[in-house]
Amino acid sequence: MTNVTGLQAGESAEEQAFQAKIDREERIEPKDWMPEGYRKTLVRQISQHAHSEIVGMLPEGNWVTRAPSLKRKAVLLAKIQDEAGHGLYLYSAAETLDASRDEMTEALHDGRAKYSSIFNYPTLSWADIGAIGWLVDGAAIVNQVALCRCSYGPYARAMERICKEESFHQRQGYEIMMVLAQGTPEQKEMAQDALNRWWGPALMMFGPHDSNSVHSSRNMAWKIKRRSNDDLRQQFIDMTVPQAEYLDLSIPDPDLTWNEETGHYEVGPIDWDEFERVVKGGGPVGRERIRDRRRAWEEGAWVREAALAHAEKRRQRKMQAAAE
Protein backbone atom coordinates (compact mmCIF):
# COMPACT_ATOMS: atom_id res chain seq x y z
CA MET A 1 0.00 0.00 0.00
CA THR A 2 1.15 3.52 -0.74
CA ASN A 3 0.35 6.18 1.80
CA VAL A 4 -1.52 9.34 0.88
CA THR A 5 1.51 11.40 -0.06
CA GLY A 6 3.30 8.64 -1.89
CA LEU A 7 6.32 9.00 0.40
CA GLN A 8 7.82 5.72 1.41
CA ALA A 9 10.57 4.65 3.73
CA GLY A 10 13.88 4.17 1.98
CA GLU A 11 13.31 6.79 -0.67
CA SER A 12 16.20 8.99 -1.68
CA ALA A 13 16.23 12.71 -1.05
CA GLU A 14 15.60 13.25 -4.76
CA GLU A 15 12.58 11.00 -4.67
CA GLN A 16 11.24 12.72 -1.61
CA ALA A 17 11.67 16.16 -3.12
CA PHE A 18 9.98 14.96 -6.29
CA GLN A 19 7.02 13.59 -4.40
CA ALA A 20 6.79 16.69 -2.24
CA LYS A 21 6.60 18.80 -5.37
CA ILE A 22 3.76 16.67 -6.69
CA ASP A 23 2.00 16.84 -3.34
CA ARG A 24 2.18 20.65 -3.53
CA GLU A 25 0.36 20.37 -6.89
CA GLU A 26 3.35 21.72 -8.80
CA ARG A 27 3.92 20.39 -12.28
CA ILE A 28 6.89 18.29 -13.26
CA GLU A 29 8.66 19.62 -16.35
CA PRO A 30 10.94 17.74 -18.78
CA LYS A 31 14.20 19.02 -17.28
CA ASP A 32 13.21 18.16 -13.70
CA TRP A 33 14.57 15.07 -12.02
CA MET A 34 12.05 12.22 -12.04
CA PRO A 35 12.11 8.57 -10.99
CA GLU A 36 12.60 6.12 -13.84
CA GLY A 37 9.25 4.48 -13.00
CA TYR A 38 7.45 7.81 -13.41
CA ARG A 39 9.09 8.41 -16.77
CA LYS A 40 8.35 4.89 -18.01
CA THR A 41 4.75 4.97 -16.86
CA LEU A 42 4.19 8.27 -18.60
CA VAL A 43 5.83 7.16 -21.84
CA ARG A 44 3.66 4.06 -21.81
CA GLN A 45 0.50 5.99 -21.11
CA ILE A 46 1.13 8.95 -23.43
CA SER A 47 2.26 6.79 -26.34
CA GLN A 48 -0.72 4.49 -25.82
CA HIS A 49 -2.91 7.55 -25.92
CA ALA A 50 -1.18 8.84 -29.08
CA HIS A 51 -1.55 5.46 -30.77
CA SER A 52 -5.27 5.48 -29.93
CA GLU A 53 -5.69 8.79 -31.74
CA ILE A 54 -3.92 7.40 -34.79
CA VAL A 55 -5.58 4.00 -34.92
CA GLY A 56 -8.87 5.77 -34.25
CA MET A 57 -8.56 7.52 -37.61
CA LEU A 58 -9.15 4.19 -39.37
CA PRO A 59 -12.71 3.32 -38.28
CA GLU A 60 -13.81 6.89 -38.98
CA GLY A 61 -11.84 7.14 -42.20
CA ASN A 62 -13.90 4.15 -43.31
CA TRP A 63 -16.90 6.49 -43.79
CA VAL A 64 -15.28 9.60 -45.25
CA THR A 65 -16.01 8.65 -48.84
CA ARG A 66 -19.58 7.62 -47.97
CA ALA A 67 -20.66 10.48 -45.70
CA PRO A 68 -24.31 11.20 -46.55
CA SER A 69 -24.00 14.95 -47.16
CA LEU A 70 -21.15 17.28 -48.06
CA LYS A 71 -21.47 19.04 -44.74
CA ARG A 72 -21.15 15.74 -42.87
CA LYS A 73 -18.18 14.83 -45.04
CA ALA A 74 -16.45 18.11 -44.20
CA VAL A 75 -17.17 17.74 -40.48
CA LEU A 76 -15.88 14.17 -40.47
CA LEU A 77 -12.70 15.13 -42.34
CA ALA A 78 -12.11 17.94 -39.86
CA LYS A 79 -12.61 15.56 -36.94
CA ILE A 80 -10.15 13.04 -38.32
CA GLN A 81 -7.68 15.83 -38.93
CA ASP A 82 -8.10 16.88 -35.30
CA GLU A 83 -7.41 13.32 -34.15
CA ALA A 84 -4.21 13.21 -36.20
CA GLY A 85 -3.25 16.51 -34.57
CA HIS A 86 -3.92 15.01 -31.14
CA GLY A 87 -1.62 12.15 -32.03
CA LEU A 88 1.04 14.65 -32.99
CA TYR A 89 0.83 16.67 -29.74
CA LEU A 90 0.91 13.49 -27.72
CA TYR A 91 3.92 12.05 -29.54
CA SER A 92 5.64 15.38 -28.91
CA ALA A 93 4.74 15.19 -25.22
CA ALA A 94 6.23 11.68 -25.07
CA GLU A 95 9.35 12.91 -26.88
CA THR A 96 10.02 15.28 -23.98
CA LEU A 97 10.58 12.08 -21.97
CA ASP A 98 13.25 10.86 -24.41
CA ALA A 99 11.00 8.49 -26.30
CA SER A 100 11.45 8.67 -30.08
CA ARG A 101 8.46 8.69 -32.39
CA ASP A 102 9.97 5.97 -34.56
CA GLU A 103 10.47 3.69 -31.56
CA MET A 104 6.94 4.30 -30.35
CA THR A 105 5.59 3.61 -33.83
CA GLU A 106 7.57 0.41 -34.02
CA ALA A 107 6.21 -0.70 -30.65
CA LEU A 108 2.67 -0.15 -31.95
CA HIS A 109 3.36 -2.13 -35.11
CA ASP A 110 4.91 -5.12 -33.42
CA GLY A 111 2.23 -5.30 -30.75
CA ARG A 112 4.32 -4.23 -27.74
CA ALA A 113 2.39 -0.99 -27.30
CA LYS A 114 -1.33 -0.96 -26.74
CA TYR A 115 -4.01 1.45 -27.86
CA SER A 116 -7.64 1.84 -26.88
CA SER A 117 -9.36 -1.45 -27.69
CA ILE A 118 -12.50 0.44 -28.74
CA PHE A 119 -10.94 0.94 -32.17
CA ASN A 120 -10.82 -2.79 -32.70
CA TYR A 121 -14.54 -2.72 -33.41
CA PRO A 122 -15.74 -2.12 -36.97
CA THR A 123 -17.81 0.84 -38.23
CA LEU A 124 -20.69 -0.88 -40.00
CA SER A 125 -23.12 1.94 -40.67
CA TRP A 126 -23.21 5.72 -40.82
CA ALA A 127 -24.74 5.72 -37.33
CA ASP A 128 -21.43 4.34 -36.04
CA ILE A 129 -19.86 7.69 -36.88
CA GLY A 130 -22.49 9.33 -34.69
CA ALA A 131 -22.03 6.75 -31.93
CA ILE A 132 -18.25 7.12 -31.94
CA GLY A 133 -18.47 10.89 -31.57
CA TRP A 134 -21.14 10.69 -28.90
CA LEU A 135 -19.84 7.75 -26.86
CA VAL A 136 -16.17 7.30 -27.65
CA ASP A 137 -15.26 10.98 -27.72
CA GLY A 138 -17.66 11.42 -24.79
CA ALA A 139 -15.78 8.82 -22.74
CA ALA A 140 -12.46 10.28 -23.89
CA ILE A 141 -13.48 13.71 -22.55
CA VAL A 142 -14.31 12.31 -19.13
CA ASN A 143 -10.89 10.66 -19.00
CA GLN A 144 -9.03 13.59 -20.44
CA VAL A 145 -10.56 16.35 -18.33
CA ALA A 146 -9.15 14.45 -15.36
CA LEU A 147 -5.77 14.29 -17.13
CA CYS A 148 -5.64 18.07 -17.59
CA ARG A 149 -4.53 18.09 -13.93
CA CYS A 150 -1.90 15.41 -14.47
CA SER A 151 1.39 16.15 -12.71
CA TYR A 152 3.48 16.04 -15.88
CA GLY A 153 3.35 19.50 -17.49
CA PRO A 154 3.62 18.68 -21.21
CA TYR A 155 0.98 15.94 -20.94
CA ALA A 156 -1.42 18.14 -18.95
CA ARG A 157 -1.03 20.97 -21.45
CA ALA A 158 -1.57 18.65 -24.43
CA MET A 159 -4.74 17.44 -22.71
CA GLU A 160 -6.07 20.97 -22.27
CA ARG A 161 -5.77 21.66 -26.00
CA ILE A 162 -7.23 18.30 -26.89
CA CYS A 163 -10.22 18.50 -24.54
CA LYS A 164 -11.61 21.57 -26.28
CA GLU A 165 -11.68 19.76 -29.61
CA GLU A 166 -13.06 16.55 -28.14
CA SER A 167 -16.11 18.34 -26.83
CA PHE A 168 -16.87 19.53 -30.39
CA HIS A 169 -16.55 15.96 -31.59
CA GLN A 170 -18.90 14.75 -28.91
CA ARG A 171 -21.54 17.33 -29.81
CA GLN A 172 -21.23 16.62 -33.52
CA GLY A 173 -21.60 12.90 -32.90
CA TYR A 174 -24.63 13.43 -30.74
CA GLU A 175 -26.14 15.62 -33.43
CA ILE A 176 -25.71 12.85 -36.01
CA MET A 177 -27.51 10.48 -33.62
CA MET A 178 -30.28 13.02 -33.06
CA VAL A 179 -30.99 13.40 -36.77
CA LEU A 180 -31.03 9.62 -37.21
CA ALA A 181 -33.19 9.03 -34.13
CA GLN A 182 -35.72 11.54 -35.43
CA GLY A 183 -35.45 10.31 -39.02
CA THR A 184 -37.10 7.43 -40.86
CA PRO A 185 -37.72 4.13 -39.04
CA GLU A 186 -34.70 2.65 -40.83
CA GLN A 187 -32.50 5.50 -39.65
CA LYS A 188 -33.71 5.10 -36.10
CA GLU A 189 -32.99 1.39 -36.27
CA MET A 190 -29.50 2.20 -37.55
CA ALA A 191 -28.95 4.50 -34.56
CA GLN A 192 -30.22 1.92 -32.05
CA ASP A 193 -28.05 -0.78 -33.60
CA ALA A 194 -24.99 1.43 -33.28
CA LEU A 195 -25.77 2.16 -29.62
CA ASN A 196 -26.23 -1.57 -29.02
CA ARG A 197 -22.78 -2.32 -30.38
CA TRP A 198 -20.81 0.63 -28.92
CA TRP A 199 -22.25 0.90 -25.40
CA GLY A 200 -20.39 -2.01 -23.83
CA PRO A 201 -17.03 -1.22 -25.44
CA ALA A 202 -17.44 2.44 -24.41
CA LEU A 203 -17.84 1.42 -20.75
CA MET A 204 -14.70 -0.68 -21.08
CA MET A 205 -12.73 2.36 -22.23
CA PHE A 206 -12.27 3.31 -18.58
CA GLY A 207 -10.35 0.12 -17.92
CA PRO A 208 -10.85 -2.66 -15.37
CA HIS A 209 -12.64 -2.18 -12.05
CA ASP A 210 -10.55 -0.44 -9.41
CA SER A 211 -10.28 -3.72 -7.50
CA ASN A 212 -8.53 -5.28 -10.52
CA SER A 213 -6.46 -2.37 -11.71
CA VAL A 214 -2.73 -3.06 -11.48
CA HIS A 215 -1.15 0.36 -11.79
CA SER A 216 -3.69 2.50 -10.03
CA SER A 217 -2.41 3.33 -6.56
CA ARG A 218 1.12 4.39 -7.48
CA ASN A 219 -0.17 6.41 -10.44
CA MET A 220 -2.61 8.14 -8.12
CA ALA A 221 0.21 9.09 -5.72
CA TRP A 222 2.23 10.43 -8.66
CA LYS A 223 -0.87 12.24 -9.90
CA ILE A 224 -0.51 10.70 -13.32
CA LYS A 225 -3.98 9.45 -12.66
CA ARG A 226 -6.27 11.67 -10.63
CA ARG A 227 -9.50 9.71 -10.44
CA SER A 228 -10.21 5.99 -10.39
CA ASN A 229 -11.50 3.96 -13.35
CA ASP A 230 -14.83 3.22 -11.69
CA ASP A 231 -15.28 6.82 -10.69
CA LEU A 232 -14.76 8.06 -14.22
CA ARG A 233 -16.94 5.31 -15.68
CA GLN A 234 -19.76 6.27 -13.32
CA GLN A 235 -19.53 9.89 -14.40
CA PHE A 236 -19.79 8.82 -18.03
CA ILE A 237 -22.80 6.61 -17.33
CA ASP A 238 -24.62 9.34 -15.41
CA MET A 239 -23.94 11.78 -18.21
CA THR A 240 -24.88 9.47 -21.07
CA VAL A 241 -28.02 7.64 -19.94
CA PRO A 242 -30.20 10.79 -19.97
CA GLN A 243 -28.75 11.69 -23.39
CA ALA A 244 -29.91 8.31 -24.72
CA GLU A 245 -33.33 8.86 -23.18
CA TYR A 246 -33.56 12.23 -24.89
CA LEU A 247 -32.86 10.48 -28.20
CA ASP A 248 -35.54 7.92 -27.35
CA LEU A 249 -32.97 5.17 -27.80
CA SER A 250 -32.57 2.39 -25.26
CA ILE A 251 -29.33 1.56 -23.48
CA PRO A 252 -28.68 -2.14 -24.20
CA ASP A 253 -28.60 -3.20 -20.56
CA PRO A 254 -31.63 -4.89 -18.97
CA ASP A 255 -30.15 -4.32 -15.50
CA LEU A 256 -29.77 -0.58 -15.84
CA THR A 257 -31.45 1.14 -12.88
CA TRP A 258 -31.58 4.55 -11.29
CA ASN A 259 -30.55 4.53 -7.66
CA GLU A 260 -32.56 7.21 -5.91
CA GLU A 261 -30.39 7.11 -2.80
CA THR A 262 -26.97 7.49 -4.40
CA GLY A 263 -28.20 9.64 -7.27
CA HIS A 264 -26.39 7.41 -9.76
CA TYR A 265 -27.36 5.00 -12.51
CA GLU A 266 -26.30 1.42 -11.93
CA VAL A 267 -25.35 -0.80 -14.84
CA GLY A 268 -25.39 -4.58 -15.09
CA PRO A 269 -22.18 -6.63 -15.13
CA ILE A 270 -19.64 -5.58 -17.75
CA ASP A 271 -18.37 -8.36 -20.00
CA TRP A 272 -14.73 -8.40 -18.89
CA ASP A 273 -14.11 -11.65 -20.71
CA GLU A 274 -14.78 -9.83 -23.93
CA PHE A 275 -12.54 -6.98 -22.81
CA GLU A 276 -9.69 -9.41 -22.14
CA ARG A 277 -10.20 -11.10 -25.49
CA VAL A 278 -10.22 -7.80 -27.34
CA VAL A 279 -7.16 -6.46 -25.54
CA LYS A 280 -5.22 -9.68 -26.04
CA GLY A 281 -6.53 -10.94 -29.36
CA GLY A 282 -7.24 -7.62 -31.02
CA GLY A 283 -11.02 -7.94 -31.14
CA PRO A 284 -13.11 -8.18 -34.29
CA VAL A 285 -10.84 -6.04 -36.48
CA GLY A 286 -7.69 -5.62 -34.38
CA ARG A 287 -5.57 -7.51 -36.85
CA GLU A 288 -6.79 -5.33 -39.71
CA ARG A 289 -6.15 -2.14 -37.77
CA ILE A 290 -2.52 -3.00 -37.08
CA ARG A 291 -2.04 -4.43 -40.53
CA ASP A 292 -3.34 -1.16 -42.04
CA ARG A 293 -1.09 0.96 -39.86
CA ARG A 294 1.92 -1.21 -40.62
CA ARG A 295 1.19 -1.17 -44.33
CA ALA A 296 0.86 2.62 -44.39
CA TRP A 297 4.19 2.86 -42.58
CA GLU A 298 6.00 0.36 -44.80
CA GLU A 299 4.56 1.73 -48.03
CA GLY A 300 5.55 5.21 -46.90
CA ALA A 301 9.17 4.26 -46.17
CA TRP A 302 10.45 5.40 -49.57
CA VAL A 303 8.70 8.76 -49.11
CA ARG A 304 10.35 9.36 -45.75
CA GLU A 305 13.72 8.26 -47.15
CA ALA A 306 13.33 10.62 -50.09
CA ALA A 307 12.56 13.54 -47.77
CA LEU A 308 15.67 12.79 -45.72
CA ALA A 309 17.85 12.35 -48.78
CA HIS A 310 16.62 15.63 -50.24
CA ALA A 311 17.18 17.51 -47.00
CA GLU A 312 20.73 16.14 -46.89
CA LYS A 313 21.39 17.24 -50.49
CA ARG A 314 20.16 20.72 -49.67
CA ARG A 315 22.33 20.90 -46.61
CA GLN A 316 25.41 19.92 -48.59
CA ARG A 317 24.67 22.40 -51.35
CA LYS A 318 24.30 25.15 -48.79
CA MET A 319 27.62 24.27 -47.24
CA GLN A 320 29.27 24.19 -50.63
CA ALA A 321 27.82 27.57 -51.52
CA ALA A 322 29.03 29.00 -48.24
CA ALA A 323 32.53 27.60 -48.83
CA GLU A 324 32.79 29.17 -52.29
Partner 1 sequence: MNETELMDQPAANAPALDAGTQAIFVDYLLHLGDNGLILGQRLGEWCGHGPVLEEDIAMTNIALDLIGQARMLLTRAGEIEGAGRDEDALAYTRDALAFRNLLLVEQPNGDFALTMVRQFLFSAWSYELYRRLTASTDPGLAAIAAKAVKEAAYHRRHSGEWLIRLGDGTAESKRRAQDALDDLWIFTDEMFEAQPGDAALAAAGLIPEPSSLRPDWEAMVERVLAEATLTRPDPGFRREGGRTGRHSEYLGHILSELQFLQRAYPGAQW
Which of residues 126, 198, 199, 236 is near partner 1 by CB under 8 A? 126
Q: What are phi and psi of 10, to 5 degrees?
A: 85, 5
Spatial CA neighbour of 271 closest among 286, 252, 288, 287: 252
Considering only residues 169, 223, 289, 293, which one is a binding residue for Fe ion as defined by CB under 5 A?
Answer: 169
Contact flag: residue 124 with partner 1 (CB under 8 A): no
Q: How many residues bind partner 1 (CB under 8 A)?
A: 49
Q: Which of 42, 80, 158, 285 binds partner 1 (CB under 8 A)?
A: 80
Sorted by sequence, the CB contacts under 8 Å of residue 164 that are 6+ apart come out as none
Can you give the length of the chain in residues? 324
Interface residue with partner 1, options 30, 35, 68, 252 (CB under 8 A): 68
Contact of residue 169 among Fe ion, partner 1, none (CB under 5-8 Å per partner type): Fe ion
**Segment contacting Fe ion by CB under 5 A, of 36-44, 148-156, 162-170, 287-295:** 162-170
Candidates 10, 13, 69, 263; binder of partner 1 (CB under 8 A) is 69
Applying CB under 5 A, does 51 fall inside the site for Fe ion?
A: no
Of the candidate spans 3-11, 83-91, 261-269, 315-323, the one that interacts with Fe ion by CB under 5 A turns out to be 83-91
Q: Is 178 in the site for partner 1 (CB under 8 A)?
A: no
| Burial tier of 144 (Cβ tally within 10 Å: 0-12, 13-18, 19+) | buried
Q: Which residues of 253-283 are buried (b: 16+ CB within 10 A; e: fewer)?
A: beebeeeeeeeebebeebeeeebeebbeebb
For residue 119, what is the enclosing H or E element?
none
Determine the Cα–Cα distance for residues 199 and 201; give it in Å rounded to an integer: 6
Report if residue 304 touches partner 1, rule: CB under 8 A: yes
How far is 132 from 65, CA to CA, in rounded Å? 17
Cβ closer to Fe ion: 137 or 253?
A: 137
Spell out the residues 6+ positions from residue 28 whose beta carbon is closer than 8 angstroms to its own: 18, 21, 22, 34, 38, 151, 152, 153
Query: Is residue 64 near partner 1 by the rule CB under 8 A?
Result: yes
Containing 317, the helix (H) or strand (E) segment is helix 301-323
Residues of this chain that bind Fe ion (CB under 5 A)? 53, 83, 86, 137, 166, 169
Residues of this chain that bind partner 1 (CB under 8 A)? 54, 57-58, 60-61, 64-74, 77-78, 80-81, 84-85, 87-88, 91, 126, 176, 179-180, 183-184, 186-187, 292, 295-297, 299-307, 309-310, 313
